[in-house]
Structure 1
């Protein structure tokens, strides 16, 4: 039987293997039951008694919870995102959580020297997304079972060239004198400082380039027969799609006609800004509206993309709008597209 004493022993890592298995099975089947055992204040008290490393990973001053209809997902700032639909906030779930979450801030993966002279290869053979920091300070979030490689003289080369096999998200450091180029199969994406995602997976026909901020240009590698629309120039929100079988290319450019502006235009002055604020099961559209007012930010969204999505969470005044929107988007399979003057949230 799962009782209060056993639960507290579990959180302090004092259970036997059999008891741990029983608790994990119970929490899998009854995720909401944790609220019956621990209040928020009690979870913080137990935090000081957890085994080293667990408190830092799972306990913090801010907890966030996003849920869609009956499914509940809880998020700690910059901690973990559920791979399915549930994270139980306020404490560590040991191996149970480790197999179900995808880290928002994954660790840098180990380097493998390429068999190709003068090249360095990063190979992510795990099932989780992992981070790479390039010599110029640019970063890559490398998807599962994907790889990238670049010159060992990357920082000194006239062009910063990366070769991708699989899928990755790129956050490029600006360098006006040296373009950043990603070669993915038949296409090359040229960028001087922005964020974008490229998908070039084996077994899939299409190579996709999705731009989030800045500007990029997509070109073909050695194939001049394919017509590239708009000379391959992408704006935030655009997705370039190239078919390896049909040798065709097009750009998905989402319409802004369905977007609405979040926030109230009736405010006579800056809104009151308390030290913290909390949402409790509010529709995600209302959350975005309030954040737009609170930060006096120009945010646009498509109501259909936020339908039947809800959010519960607590934020501090010191939290950045960018971090909050990124966390909310990650939980709800949305994209945050940033331009010079506005932010767009959409699928």
Structure 2
């Protein structure tokens, strides 16, 4: 138990260093823990740190289970200067130590910035407003763009509600406060449809893509999110829904409160730190423990991969950087684990993946080709 608490402590400090919120005292504590085998304190670049034991233990717990000889559990050295807590690739049950990554000069020649505060608001009359072009403090009918960049709808008592939709492009994200005070954070390539006034006995919105909801409590008017064939019913709570068209599953993850998730054939009640997984093809609905750090990583400014295959990583990266991947390397059995800042450019992420995996990446415009090394 003591070791687990220590791992959690230093992983938390690692994240604070990555996010730039670490204090000088915490920085010194983390540096002391990361002493190398000769007792020499490692340098800690402002945007990189590795929590070795915590992530190594997690990798082996999830991948090796009880089937891999303990003698293979070697320590992983801190050897990458990219912005990651730790990123390793696993083929079968063998760690791939870093090899020659894709040359940085090649990646930088066609680099791409991370997702920014971008969205398009479609009004009830069909008019489209590009929100990233609106000046802070600008008013738009019942909404105002605050200094934080958030679009906030003002409470209105009108009898007739207009239906608005807020869409983020690939390479965009946005935050909106709905007329009832509910806060919604939209991930890249997502769309939220909602009324300008919540009339009736329910507050109903529709979602495509991914969003985090912090719902204002109103016992007389439950909040409902429609996601394809799945409905999520809540009163006042916070949760995440991931439902991209190119994903096989619709995942609802509860952070606080309680929600009821209903598919075409089944329904279930979620408790905090649980995740409902609706399989789009099979029509099944299952409940599993949630990894809140991983689920909320996008909202907290991180990519977190937990035994993720390259295909799923590519889908997430493509939405965030608005690029298209072309795979010329064939299927890969590699699994990746670790954390990378979403504030980094595409070249940083690709170079790290290349260093710890068995692929090279070639960037031409908005197309990224995956090549074998």
Using structure 2 for the length normalisation, give the TM-score.
0.40
Answer 1 or 2: higher relative contact order, Cα 8 Å, separation at least 6. Answer: 2
Using structure 1 for the length normalisation, give the TM-score.
0.43
